[in-house]
Amino acid sequence: MDLADLLGIRWPLLQAPMAGVQGSRLALAVCEAGGLGALPAAALAPDALDAEIRRLRSGTDRPWNLNFFCHAPPPSEPAREQAWRRVLRPDYERFGLDVERIVATPGRRPFDADALALVQAHRPAVVSFHFGLPADDLLAGVRAAGCRVLTSATTMEEARWLEARGVDAVIAQGWEAGGHRGHFLSDDLDRQADLSTLLPAILAAVDVPVIAAGGIADARGVADAMALGAAGVQVGTAYLLCPEADTRAVHRQALREPRSTSVTNVFTGRPARGIVNRAMGSWGPLAADVPAFPLATAFSAPLREAAEAQGLDDYSLLWAGRQFPSCRDAPAAEITAALVRGFTPSRQDALPDR
């Protein structure tokens, strides 16, 4: 089945869920432009998530995607946390802060019974997951609510694992992608591949639709992914400068500067691609002592707040894909219209107005 038909959208274009930099406003704008807007849920408490869902539902009758993390809550590791405090102490002293006062708290919620209750109450057209899939009983509850299920894969093995568990489509996350890596079967980053290598491998391995993600920032990127056989594309970084996004001021400024990206685990405890800053260079980019995801977030947050108050991005989570120089200041509808030019003219002419 055609991906747009499967999801009930005009264009096979998905807005990537981006926790911390977007909410219902961006998702709504993309939905109204004919794509599949996404609402990231991992950083929101149930009441806050419910309010965001209601705002989205009140603004559109088009399909939308509710996205969740599927990480396992980590155990407390006092020795590891204390070792990380020693690494961060000079930076804390720079701002007159006491690193010993930091208490590691999760900050990000995995998909659980409370999340399932919201899914069953609101019945989004699509529910997507990052870091694998939830427990079988929770996943069955999502399916019982009539939702299509999408999940990221970073290797051919992950794609096969997901297909065997009945997902409706697989999102092939290339190494170029911004934000957290979605791997879940192996932590070996040497197995991660660029989209041009990953996409054909996953297409050959599974029969479900495959959505290309990673480094797609303009119509040419869309066209290239579709030419490789993708059923559709997922785009995130290209929307970061939109007025509908909640991107912080220092993050917006970094996106406008000639800088590079790297994959780091120093901010959250899990590898993620972002624009290189002081913290990534000083602590990592990949650190062995960092607390497990998502506990590490609590350690960098006070530094981020103190630095951003001075207009500095030294400790900020500047998530962005490799193609971030293509970002531009424009409404989400305009960005979406530019991206869909990458679909073939025959597709553009044939699609109904959903």
Query: What residue has token string 């065997």?
Result: 164
Query: Side chain identity at 274, as an amino acid letter?
Result: G
Helix axes 332-339, 219-227, angle to 10 degrees: 40
- CA triple 259-264-267, angle to 5 deg: 105
> Which CATH number is associated with domain 1-71+108-244+331-354?
3.20.20.70
Task: Tell me, yes or no, if the pTM score tops 0.85.
Answer: yes
Q: Where are the domains of the chain?
A: 1-71+108-244+331-354, 78-105+248-326
Nearest to 273 by CA among 185, 162, 154: 154
Question: pLDDT tens, position by position, for the chain (354 residues)?
Answer: 799 999 999 999 999 999 999 999 999 999 999 999 999 999 999 999 999 999 999 999 999 999 999 999 898 899 999 999 999 999 999 999 999 999 888 778 899 999 999 999 999 999 999 999 999 999 999 999 999 999 999 999 999 999 999 999 999 999 999 999 999 999 999 999 999 999 999 999 999 999 999 999 999 999 999 999 999 999 999 999 999 999 999 999 999 999 999 999 999 999 999 999 999 999 999 999 999 999 999 999 999 999 999 999 999 999 999 999 999 999 999 999 999 999 987 555 555 555
Residue 141: C-alpha distances to residues 55, 114, 123, 184, 291 (Å): 24, 12, 11, 22, 32
Helices (H), the chain: 3-7, 24-32, 46-59, 78-94, 113-122, 136-144, 156-164, 195-205, 219-227, 249-255, 278-283, 297-308, 332-339, 345-350
